[in-house]
Amino acid sequence: MINKNEKIVVGMSGGVDSSIALILLKEQGWDPIGVSLKYAIWPDKANCLRENVCCSKESFATATNICKKLKVPYHVLDVSADFKKQVIEYFVKELKNNRTPNPCIRCNPSLKFKQLFKYAKKHNIKYVATGHFAQSKVNKKTGKHELLKAKDNKKDQTYSLSWLPQKWLKYIKFPLGKYTKQQVFKLAIKHGFDFFIKQKQSQDFCFVAGKSMVFFLKKELGIKSGQIKDTKGNLLGEHNGLHFYTIGQRKGINLSGGPYFVVKKNNKENVLIVSKQEKDLYSKQAILSPVHFISGESLEASIKVQVKIRSQHIPSLAYLTPLTKNKIKLNFIKSQKAITLGQFAVFYKANVCLGGGEIKQ
């Protein structure tokens, strides 16, 4: 139960999810304040994007109109400098180390929620809400706030929220957690926002277009030629840099007699290792570091959990074994395809997201 007219900061992207989240909160008795964050892009003429996908002029205009219609205050915060440091520089650094970064998992705790809470604190507001498909509740036994999967399993976003800390989660509201995406669209039509139905979702990184990625890699990391070998050490060809590839990749290897899959990167010798056998992509183990548990506690003994190694991965049974306070050994019961350095393994117990760890080995 909330106090009537309790203020809450609502992160507004200008999309259907955050807009309906705002409407639902207002209907529940909250006093919402819409806040959009202005992010940076990769500032190069080779980038097809002229503005960040998450915060275009069009999306700001939509958020402005919706807040105006609902008589809700609306503000835009320019966090471009922080975005460049926390997201784009992280992205480049990981690629330089021949890992595959995950900017969304990085952005949520380091930038998005951090800035929303910073604004809330400045204006003496306790709560923050977003249009993410997730749920949270208090565990009555432990008194801790838990992050739960959304009702709509296909749209569930707990993977990208897995690094939220306990101190924030207790003050975050996810109004869409008990709705399906289809129900959200129906609510949009009901409230006269049917134009959302025609909007297309971008598949690009928010700061650089997919078709511009090759130019981005060449400009930011350059060409670092090396050998391509098979798993037996036979020389097959040359590559332009390990940063152009990720584990499991099939396209763009440009070898005759394929298809080939990228199965490993030998950073020390700058060798790309490929195989025709998809089975060579499968493995059971990884070392995770750093690690984060939403409860704020560290792992003291081995536990059996379900783990996702990418956002669309089907959770698979595994054991987590602590090695140090900030390092865990992950051991899947069944081999998994393309466990990739730089990506994140996210842990679940039934419907509860426990946290995650970065795949380091």
Q: Which residues are catalytic?
A: 107, 206
**How many CB atoms within 10 Å of residue 269?**
10
User: Quick check: 161 and 134 in contact, CB under 8 A?
Assistant: yes
Distance CA 133, CA 16 (A): 12
The amino acid that residue 340 corresponds to is T
Contacts of 144 (CB under 8 A, 6+ apart): 138, 166, 294, 295, 296
Looking at residue 201, the DSSP 8-state letter turns out to be P
Residue 23, token pair as written in the block: 């409407």
Q: Which residues of 236-253 are buried (b: 16+ CB within 10 A; e: fewer)?
A: beebbbbbbbbbbbeeeb
Alpha helices in 16-153 (DSSP H): 16-27, 57-69, 80-83, 89-96, 103-107, 113-122
